[in-house]
């Protein structure tokens, strides 16, 4: 069965480029971007992992860290990291799991046999500090992911976890947000001292509350 939003991210132990880890212990009190890539020494993955490394400070601002996975062995990962650092102009600063027996890939439904039974698809799991799965999406091996969107998604998830708001289409950090429909006007007035605008009874807009 596929993992669903709100499920606890399954724990596992695995070898990585930074040594053996227990996943839940490694998460600690952080949020996590856990993502798979089809194989080492492949062009799209090379660009993705390089860009992820460049986002370390942006992830850190959000109390978030990254961890990648492929079914190739650690030795291949280390060799490939040299290529990533050379071609992408960065230092790979996060662990890459060596899932040679595919146990983790199968646990997280990263193998899609009708796409390719030998490699993982480009799956992404956003996991919060309580080890809960907050978001997930999957791309085919041929399409590189947009990691700026991952940052935007984390911003939305963390904001809406702390306030009774939702984020509208194409929302960016600092823009107005939507008051959740379940909140009465009276309670909204108390919770949002900056005020809100009623576009429709079910569509009320307020400035981002933590700004």
Residue among 166, 158, 93, 173 nearest 127 (CA): 158
pLDDT tens-digit map of 81-105: 999 999 999 999 999 999 999 999 9
C-alpha span between 10 and 57 (Å, rounded): 27
Give the residue numbers annotated as catalytic, written as ranges: 45
C-alpha span between 43 and 174 (Å, rounded): 35
pLDDT tens-digit map of 27-58: 999 999 999 999 999 999 999 999 999 999 99
pLDDT tens-digit map of 105-142: 999 999 887 777 677 889 999 999 999 999 999 998 88
Residue among 97, 95, 49, 94 nearest 73 (CA): 97
List the structure tokens of 166.
Answer: 């939702």
Tell me the whole-structure pTM to 2 decimals: 0.94
């Amino acid at each position: 069965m596929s993992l669903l939003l709100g499920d606890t991210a399954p724990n596992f132990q695995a070898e990585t480029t930074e040594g053996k880890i227990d996943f839940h212990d490694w998460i600690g009190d952080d949020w996590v971007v856990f993502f798979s890539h089809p194989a080492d020494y492949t062009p799209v993955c090379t660009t993705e992992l390089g860009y992820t490394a460049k986002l370390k400070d942006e992830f850190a601002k959000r109390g978030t860290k990254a961890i990648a996975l492929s079914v190739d062995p650690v030795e291949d990962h280390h060799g490939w990291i040299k290529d990533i650092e050379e071609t992408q102009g960065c230092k790979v600063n996060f662990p890459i799991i060596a899932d040679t027996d595919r146990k983790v890939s199968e646990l997280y439904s990263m193998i899609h046999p009708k796409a390719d039974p030998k490699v993982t698809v480009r799956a992404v799991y956003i996991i919060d500090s309580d080890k809960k799965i907050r978001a997930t999406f999957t791309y085919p091996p041929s399409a590189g992911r947009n990691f700026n969107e991952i940052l935007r998604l984390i911003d939305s998830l963390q904001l809406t976890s702390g306030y009774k708001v939702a984020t509208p289409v194409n929302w960016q950090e600092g823009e107005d947000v939507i008051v959740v429909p379940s909140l009465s006007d009276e309670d909204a007035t108390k919770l949002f001292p900056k005020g809100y605008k009623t576009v429709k009874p079910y569509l009320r807009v307020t400035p981002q509350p933590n700004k």
